[in-house]
């Protein structure tokens, strides 16, 4: 599993099952019950998290989510906030040397040098994945690095959701189609 969420968050969401996974957009990788944090959390993320919380404290429908190696700001409940949020995030990202990751109705400031593609490439070097073809499913622009890495590694990315420009080779309409496809394997 590859996710923008931390491994700790994923463990909570999945009920503690122990599987190989990468969290924090590839900043954390778990192999065989051992978590390796690829990068350390810079103090800048605490500063940015506080700045974003202060800037949007009174903006209903805007949610600031502090992550292990990033701070995301979600505006799904207030799409009109997008321009203002993106301007604040761009300023803070440049000021603190953080990467900007856009996604569905969110933007995140995070540590640099890793992504879902670098995580996939690292995981594919280890048993039981080494020598096999990767398949990566995703529904967001945050998954594009993973789709590109799949293609480079001889595998295939599968975009879930509406058609859009993507490095994914295949597409499924929705989660129900994913379940049907998995059942047919």
- Whether pLDDT at 32 is above 90: no
Question: Pick from 98, 130, 134: which is nearest to 24 by CA?
Answer: 98
Whether 38 has a pLDDT exceeding 80, the answer reads: no
Are residues 155 and 135 in contact, defined by beta-carbon separation less than 8 angstroms?
Answer: yes
Residue 117 burial (CB count, 10 A): 25
Question: Which ranges constitute the DSSP H helices of the chain?
Answer: 7-13, 43-55, 82-96, 116-123, 144-152, 175-184
Instruction: Report the pLDDT value the prediction gives residue 37, as an integer from 0 to 100.
Output: 65
Cα separation, 3 vs 81, in Å, equals 25
> With bands split at pLDDT 50, 70 and 90, how would you rate the model's confidence at 35?
low
Q: How far apart are CA 150 and CA 86, in angstroms?
A: 29
Crossing angle (nearest 10°) for helices 82-96 and 43-55: 150
Average pLDDT estimate for 152-169: 97
Q: How is the chain split among helix, strand and coil, in percent rounded to 5?
A: 40, 25, 40
pLDDT at res. 43: 94
Task: Quote the CA–CA distance of 177 and 180 in Å, as a whole number.
Answer: 5
Q: In the prediction, which pLDDT does 92 show?
A: 97
Residue 46 clears pLDDT 70, i.e. is over it: yes
How many CA atoms, within 13 angstroms, populate the side-chain half-sphere of residue 20? Answer: 12
d(CA 68, CA 52): 16
Can you give the residue ranges of every domain in the chain?
A: 1-39+117-132, 43-110, 133-185
**11-15, 33-37, 123-127, 165-169: least confidently modelled range:** 33-37
**pLDDT bucket at 8, cuts 50 / 70 / 90:** confident
Residues 6+ apart with CB under 8 A from 88: 51, 52, 55
Percentage of the chain lying above the pLDDT 90 cut: 76
Residue 126 confidence (pLDDT) above 90: no
Task: Using pLDDT thresholds of 50, 70 and 90, give the confidence band for residue 33.
Answer: low
| Topology at the third CATH level for domain 43-110 | Alpha-Beta Plaits (3.30.70)
pTM: 0.83
- 4: Cβ–Cβ under 8 A, 6 or more apart, which residues? 23, 24, 25, 67, 70, 72, 101, 103, 108, 116, 142
pLDDT in tens, 73-100: 999 999 999 999 999 999 999 999 999 9
């Amino acid at each position: 599993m590859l996710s923008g969420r931390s491994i700790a968050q994923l463990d909570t969401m999945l009920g503690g099952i122990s599987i190989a996974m990468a969290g924090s957009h590839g900043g954390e990788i778990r192999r065989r019950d051992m978590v390796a944090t690829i990068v350390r959390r810079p103090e800048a993320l605490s500063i940015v998290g506080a700045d974003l919380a202060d800037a949007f404290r009174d903006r209903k429908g805007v949610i600031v989510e502090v992550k292990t190696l990033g701070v995301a700001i979600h505006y799904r409940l207030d799409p009109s906030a997008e321009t203002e949020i993106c301007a604040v995030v761009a300023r803070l990202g440049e000021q603190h040397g953080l990467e900007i990751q856009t996604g569905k109705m969110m933007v995140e400031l995070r540590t640099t040098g890793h992504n879902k593609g670098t995580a996939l490439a690292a995981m594919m070097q280890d048993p039981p994945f080494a020598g096999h073809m990767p398949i990566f499913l995703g529904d967001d622009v945050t998954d594009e690095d993973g789709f590109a890495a799949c293609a480079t590694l001889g595998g295939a990315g599968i975009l879930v959701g509406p058609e859009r420009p993507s490095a994914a080779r295949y597409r499924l309409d929705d989660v129900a189609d994913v379940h049907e496809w998995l059942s047919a394997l």
